[in-house]
Structure 1
Amino acid sequence: MSVELNHTIVSARDNRESAEFLADVLGLEVGTEWGPFVPVATANGVTLDFATVPEASIALQHYAFLVSEPEFDRAYARIKELGLTYYADPHRKHPGEINHNDGGRGVYFLDPAGHAMEIITRPYGGFPS
């Protein structure tokens, strides 16, 4: 069996709020709460398990999601509908812009816990030939 990422735990101030936020923006479903976790599964089988932790314990992370062009359009429209501040870059020097890296489109935004979320339509370096 090859090695695959199966799930990761995402620290949040409120596990349900953060799970519902991401699912709403990306058009995903929030799964059934299991113990302290509220899961959001992606199409490639990776689950983000949101867990409520004390705010002081949250180490800010970066999560990038590869999406199709139509999925980007829907997510980007939702980001704007929600009035979220978004950026073309991870350093947040270009607010209100998207990037066109590797011939695709990308945008960064923050989730309720402050994690940097990114959606891209092309992987960095482009798709393999």
Structure 2
Amino acid sequence: MSVQLNHTIVEARDRELTARFLVEILGLPPAPIFGPFRVVNLDNDISLDVIQADGPVHPQHYAFLVGEEEFDQIWGRIRERGLQFWADPYHRRPGEINTNDGGRGLYWLGPDDHNLEIITRPYGG
């Protein structure tokens, strides 16, 4: 068997809010409960296991590879909610998308300031 990422834990001040935000923006099915987690299942058998934090949340970066159609749908939901987005990870190009590696990409913040990203092409592709 090869080495593959199976899941990662996402800390949240509000587990329910964060899981709901992710599934709604990304267009995924509702996140079931498994132990202390709300499990956001992605299409490539990887999950984001959202857990309630006991203390401060340290923002992380989560990038999602999506198709062109999914990009348009997610970008539409970001704009519908009035969320700010950027073309770059340092948030220096507000209201823009990037065209890195011949694809499209953008960044936005989640409820706990996790830096979220969608791209249509892997970097270096």
Q: Determine if contact 2:18/2:111 at 8 Å carries over to the other structure.
A: yes
TM-score normalised according to structure 2 size = 0.97
Aligned-pair distance for 1:30?
2.4
Match of 1:68 in 2: 67
TM-score normalised according to structure 1 size = 0.94
Q: Distance in 2 between matches of 1:23 and 1:34?
A: 16
Aligned-pair distance for 1:73?
0.3
Match of 2:26 in 1: 26
Letter in 2 for 1:32: P
Q: Does 1:102 align with 2:107?
A: no
Q: Does 1:11 align with 2:11?
A: yes
Match of 2:45 in 1: 45
Q: Distance in 2 between matches of 1:36 and 1:14?
A: 12
Aligned-pair distance for 1:50?
0.3
Q: Secondary structure at the match of 2:16?
A: helix
Q: Distance in 2 between matches of 1:86 and 1:118?
A: 9
Aligned-pair distance for 1:55?
4.6
Q: Determine if contact 2:23/2:31 at 8 Å carries over to the other structure.
A: no
Report % sequence identity. 54
Match of 2:84 in 1: 85
Structure 2: give runs of 5+ residues left out of the alignment: none
Aligned-pair distance for 1:11?
0.2
Task: Give the aligned CA root-mean-square deviation in angstroms.
Answer: 0.8
Q: Determine if contact 1:87/1:107 at 8 Å carries over to the other structure.
A: yes
Aligned-pair distance for 1:31?
2.6
Alpha-carbon displacement from aligned partner over 1:59-116 (angstroms, at most 9, x marks no partner): 1100000000000000000000000000000000011111000011000000001100
Paired residues, number? 125
Structure 1: give runs of 5+ residues left out of the alignment: none
